[in-house]
Amino acid sequence: MTSESGRIEFESVSKSFSPRKNVTTTALHEISLTVDPGSIFGVIGYSGAGKSTLIRLVNGLERPSTGRVLVDGLDVGTLKGRRLREAQKRTGMIFQQFNLLETVKVRDNVAMPLRLDGVGAAAARAKAEEVLDFVGLSSKADSFAGDLSGGQKQRVGIARALVRNPRILLSDEATSALDPTTTAQIIELLRSINREYGTTILVVTHEMDVIKDLAHRVAVVADGTVVEQGTVLDTFLRPRSPITRDFVTTVVPQGLPDRVIDHLGGDGLWRLLLLDEQVTQPLLSDLISKLGVEVNMLHADMTEIQEHTVGQMIVKVTGAPDRVAAARAFLTERVVHLEEVRP
Ligand SMILES: Nc1ncnc2c1ncn2[C@@H]1O[C@H](COP(=O)(O)OP(=O)(O)OP(=O)(O)O)[C@@H](O)[C@H]1O
């Protein structure tokens, strides 16, 4: 297997379900996406957007109605029997509800995929212990899975997903049942798997925080279609569609209360985004001293996105109309993004 393996391509993929006669649900419509080998790709959408269906197409748990899903060039939707099982070994999967056998010991849960592949008990056990060590759970190998905390169960789920050395890890809302601290630990573990093994990770989630902390690229899905895709940083800085804006707002609140906007509204009420060294500039003092305007700072925050610092300020600039226009031009030069604030 080369380090270039682990590529996933969706080529105009649609998927419909017909659970009953005369009833058809289109879960995915004309999806085209490429997930590069060794990257972490996030898919975000609300409940029912088609995320689980999308991820299940990658390991052949669902087949496209039209279009193709290629894993390292292999058209997964056409495979059957032994060839499908071989392809499925390239992908591991983790789930929101962990899907462990609760009354089975942790070590045996992890070794299970290898035992089902026909690997001998001793070799399967040795490999299970190796991956349990990687996820930091060696000490729980003899515990029953049902006796572990949620975060520990997800570590076991991850160990089980890694036991066949997959080139791709699929994560279906893997942190959605966990508290914020445990979520951060699981995200760090997934990042370390990506770093150390070059494993491609495809993660579906409804939480923009997870995208921010984990993914390199993101696609936003709504009603079975991709409404926007790009790098995570760019998506946070310049969300284009309303739904993407809504997701970004859950991490970087973008508004002021409407009452405040109504009170201050009109020209000069701006939201500024600053990137990396821009956040340490004496921006507002320069603005005041060079352009002679008044500046009222209404909101400021800072966050880390993909090893970049992103600062946000909402300001109200007042002065003569030509001075306010000059202030706008001055700021546009010095920040990465400026927009009017409206209710
Ligand atoms: N096996 C199935 N039979 C019939 N309809 C299905 C099936 N699987 C999914 N659907 C439908 O396809 C649409 C997308 O479902 P999917 O589970 O992929 O969405 P999701 O974004 O993962 O949502 P959630 O986060 O709530 O699981 C929904 O309307 C769902 O009812």
Q: Kindly list the distances between the CA atom of residue 89 and the CA atoms of 25, 115, 213, in Å, as whole numbers in the listed order.
A: 30, 13, 27
Domain ranges of the chain: 8-244, 258-340
Q: What is the pLDDT along the chain (343 residues), one digit of tens a residue?
A: 445 799 999 999 999 999 888 889 999 999 999 999 999 999 999 999 999 999 999 999 999 999 999 999 999 999 999 999 999 998 999 999 999 999 999 999 999 999 999 999 999 999 999 999 999 999 999 999 999 999 999 999 999 999 999 999 999 999 999 999 999 999 999 999 999 999 999 999 999 999 999 999 999 999 999 999 999 999 999 999 999 999 999 998 877 888 888 888 778 999 999 999 999 999 999 999 999 999 999 999 999 998 899 999 999 999 999 999 999 999 999 999 999 887 7
49 lines ligand 1 (CB under 6 A): yes
2 lines ligand 1 (CB under 6 A): no
- Tokens read off for 184: 């951060």
Nearest to 3 by CA among 199, 257, 206: 199
The predicted model scores a pTM of 0.91
Atom of ligand 1 nearest to the CA of 62: 1
17 lines ligand 1 (CB under 6 A): yes
User: Cα dihedral angle (127, 131, 133, 136), rounded to 10 degrees?
Assistant: -160
Nearest CA to ligand 1 atom 12: 27
Which residues on adjacent β-strands are paired with residue 296?
Answer: 316
Q: How much is the pLDDT for 1?
A: 43
- In whole angstroms, what is the distance from residue 187 CA to residue 165 CA? 19
181 lines ligand 1 (CB under 6 A): no
Q: How much is the pLDDT for 20?
A: 86
- In whole angstroms, what is the distance from residue 128 CA to residue 159 CA? 7
67 lines ligand 1 (CB under 6 A): no
Pairing mode of beta strands 40-44, 217-222: parallel
50 lines ligand 1 (CB under 6 A): yes
Choice from 15, 17, 171, 172 to test ligand 1 binding pocket (greatest atom count within 8 A of CB): 17
- In whole angstroms, what is the distance from residue 331 CA to residue 291 CA? 11
117 CA from centroid of ligand 1 (Å): 30
Atom of ligand 1 nearest to the CA of 54: 18
Nearest CA to ligand 1 atom 24: 47
Superfamily of domain 258-340: ACT domain (3.30.70.260)
36 CA from centroid of ligand 1 (Å): 26
User: Is the CATH number 3.40.50.300 carried by domain 8-244?
Assistant: yes
Compute how many other C-beta atoms are within 10 angstroms of the C-beta atom of residue 275.
Answer: 16
Nearest CA to ligand 1 atom 18: 50
15 CA from centroid of ligand 1 (Å): 10
Give the residue ranges of DSSP H helices in the chain. Answer: 51-58, 81-88, 106-116, 121-134, 150-162, 180-197, 208-214, 232-237, 242-251, 258-264, 283-291, 321-334
Nearest to 291 by CA among 268, 273, 310: 268
Q: How much is the pLDDT for 3?
A: 52
20 CA from centroid of ligand 1 (Å): 15
Nearest to 334 by CA among 296, 302, 303, 290: 290
